[in-house]
Amino acid sequence: MNQYETVFILNPVLSDEQIKETVKKFIDLLEKEGGKIVAKENWGLKKLAYPIQNKKSGFYHLLQFEAKGETIDGLEVQFRRDERVMRYLTVKLDKNAVAWAEERRKRLKDKSQ
């Protein structure tokens, strides 16, 4: 299994409950396909660099997970079908990126304490 990282931007007009439901939908999809969530982060409402669908901000979420390559196709189809998702990007992490992500999470954890 490979490690992947997905960042997706949700529509800013969604309620907190709708956001949680959307994130849970994608986590459940990954786990149903045999994937394992390594980390998830809610980056909150951020201003976009350029308007998307006439929106100037969006809720950013990051998921780092282990999954088979075939799982990514199904995940991205669901991103395209969901009206709440404005943009998404999935990248495969190599060993250096995995180490960097772990170090970044450790720094964030230390910083929050």
End-to-end CA distance of the chain: 33
**Residue 56: what pLDDT?**
96
Q: What is the DSSP letter of 54?
A: T
Is residue 112 scored above 80 in pLDDT?
no
Q: Which among 5, 27, 22 has a CA at the least distance from the CA of 59?
A: 22
- How many domains, in total, are found in the chain? 1
Give residue 102's pLDDT band: very low, low, confident or very high (50, 70, 90).
Answer: confident
CATH code: domain of residue 48? 3.30.70.60
Q: Which among 85, 73, 61, 8 has a CA at the least distance from the CA of 35?
A: 73
> What are the helix (H) ranges across the chain?
16-32, 69-81, 95-112
β-pair partners for 34:
none
Mean pLDDT of the chain: 92
Could you list the residue range(s) of the whole structural domain that residue 36 is in? 2-112
